[in-house]
């Protein structure tokens, strides 16, 4: 079963605009990760935010985490055509032990950047 | 450094057949996980292996099995294929430590069952 739900399911914006995607999840987590997927291929890791962090930046990406609301957001600033992809949030809710890192994915947001 | 590699890239099988998918983790990574992604859905966890031992199993039937070799590469086997097994199969590797490590995914194997 899916742990999270991304919102919106699909988003189309003009190149240069900012894109914001949201993720909600159901259980307590250890960390939350965002991934990008182009055309049904492999997942590219974007950023990991731990449960004791509230905000994290990486280049044009900004991720926030609100554990009280069980939600996260991914902001992509100054979007480019190459950002067109599906974006997934994934949560790690397992107990920390060697090798226990099962990820539970949301349903994804399909982002289209219009040149 | 090479990322996670998977083979084959694409595979077409018929119902009832058996399939073996292969994964080589990033050098130094000891944990390998397998995920199934059906079209239009997010990936679903199938198995995780660490130091050649199964550490986690998702809600998949016994037709699915996996193993990890001494060099940390891994195989996913699916027996008695069903049409519903058609999906992208993703392998991910991580260091496998006490903290929630980043998982790095391979390009996937696209399995089509006819």
Evaluate if residue A99 carries a pLDDT over 60.
Answer: no
Tell which residue, A5, A23, A6, A27, has the closest CA to residue A93: A27
When mean pLDDT is compared over A1-5, B40-44, B82-86, the highest value belongs to B82-86
Q: Give the residue from B24, B31, B41, B42 with the most A CB atoms within 10 Å of its CB, the best one to mutate.
A: B42
Evaluate if residue A95 carries a pLDDT over 60.
Answer: no
pLDDT at A39: 82
Q: Do B39 and A40 touch (CB under 8 A)?
A: yes
Tell me the nearest-neighbour CA distance from B79 into chain A, angstroms.
Answer: 22
Question: Given the DSSP bridges, would you call strands B5-7 and A61-66 parallel, antiparallel or unpaired?
Answer: unpaired
Evaluate if residue A1 carries a pLDDT over 50.
Answer: no
A70 three-state secondary structure: coil
pLDDT at B101: 76
pLDDT at A3: 59
Evaluate if residue A47 carries a pLDDT over 50.
Answer: yes
Evaluate if residue A75 carries a pLDDT over 60.
Answer: yes
pLDDT at A30: 83
Burial of residue B2, with CB atoms counted within 10 A of its CB: 0-12 exposed, 13-18 middle, 19 or more buried: exposed
Determine the Cα–Cα distance for residues B68 and B52; give it in Å rounded to an integer: 5
pLDDT at A114: 95
Q: Do A98 and B50 touch (CB under 8 A)?
A: yes
Q: Which of A42, A88, A102 sits opposite B45 (nearest CB)?
A: A102
Burial of residue A2, with CB atoms counted within 10 A of its CB: 0-12 exposed, 13-18 middle, 19 or more buried: middle
Average pLDDT over residues B18-41: 95
């Amino acid at each position: 079963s899916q742990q999270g739900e991304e919102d919106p399911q699909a988003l189309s914006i003009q190149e240069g605009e900012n894109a914001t995607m949201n993720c909600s999840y159901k259980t307590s987590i250890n960390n939350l990760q965002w991934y990008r997927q182009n055309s049904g291929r492999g997942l590219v890791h974007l950023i990991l935010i731990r449960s004791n962090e509230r905000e994290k930046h990486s280049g044009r990406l900004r991720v926030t985490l609100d554990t009280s609301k069980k939600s996260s957001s991914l902001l992509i600033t100054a979007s480019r055509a190459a950002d067109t992809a599906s974006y997934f949030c994934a949560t790690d809710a397992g107990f920390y032990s060697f090798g226990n890192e099962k990820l539970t994915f949301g349903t994804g947001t399909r982002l289209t950047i219009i040149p | 450094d090479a990322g996670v590699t998977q083979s084959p890239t694409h595979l077409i099988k018929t119902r009832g057949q058996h399939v073996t998918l292969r994964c080589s983790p990033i050098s130094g990574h000891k944990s390998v996980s397998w995920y199934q992604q059906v079209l239009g859905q997010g990936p679903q966890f199938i198995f995780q292996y660490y130091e050649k031992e199964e550490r986690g199993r998702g809600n998949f039937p016994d037709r699915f099995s996996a193993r990890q070799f001494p060099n940390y590469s891994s195989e996913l086997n699916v027996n008695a294929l069903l049409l519903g097994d058609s999906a992208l199969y993703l392998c991910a590797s991580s260091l496998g430590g006490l903290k929630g490590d980043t998982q790095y995914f391979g390009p996937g194997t696209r399995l089509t069952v006819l």
